[in-house]
């Protein structure tokens, strides 16, 4: 009978300072995996120790607060510049509405989204998990 080589491990621990846009060091054996500095060093800098999932949730909340912006009307020139500057991502045309987003992300899964409807142009910073329907519904509530 062959022995199993599986190793049980606990979820990683991460230092994170609330409001920051990036995670801090990964912690193993009470010290940073990369620098070897102890947890207390980072705590003195305002960081706290979290499980990876807790830190990620806090990071996403900070990113949403900093980057996510509602749709606003933009010029036709701004719309076409953004359409042509990089290959558009997730381009769709449905019921007379054109949707696309910029293929270069601001951070995480946040990037600029664009809508063209009835010769009016709109843009917002959103997560890529937002749907075209949700985005268009927001534009309709605000601008039509």
Q: Which tens digit of pLDDT belongs to each residue from 51-104?
A: 999 999 999 999 999 999 999 999 999 999 999 999 999 999 988 899 999 999
Q: What pLDDT was estimated at residue 37?
A: 96
**How crowded is the C-beta side of 114, counted as CA atoms within 13 Å?**
24
| Alpha-helical segments (H) within 68-128 | 76-85
Q: How confident is the model at residue 133 (pLDDT cuts 50, 70, 90)?
A: confident
Taking the complete model, does pTM exceed 0.85, yes or no? no
Separation of alpha carbons 19 and 106, rounded Å: 17
Separation of alpha carbons 44 and 115, rounded Å: 46
């Amino acid at each position: 009978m062959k022995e199993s080589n599986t190793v049980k491990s606990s979820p990683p621990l991460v230092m994170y300072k609330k409001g920051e846009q990036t995670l801090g060091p990964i912690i193993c054996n009470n010290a940073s995996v990369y620098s070897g500095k102890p947890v207390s060093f980072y705590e003195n800098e305002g960081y706290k120790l979290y499980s990876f999932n807790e830190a990620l949730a806090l990071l996403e909340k900070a990113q949403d607060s900093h980057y996510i912006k509602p749709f606003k009307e933009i010029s036709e020139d701004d719309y076409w510049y953004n359409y042509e500057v990089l290959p558009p991502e997730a381009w769709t045309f449905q019921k007379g509405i054109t949707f696309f987003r910029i293929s270069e992300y601001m951070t995480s899964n946040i990037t600029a989204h664009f809508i063209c409807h009835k010769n009016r142009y709109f843009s917002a910073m959103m997560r890529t998990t937002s749907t075209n329907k949700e985005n268009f519904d927001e534009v309709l509530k605000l601008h039509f």
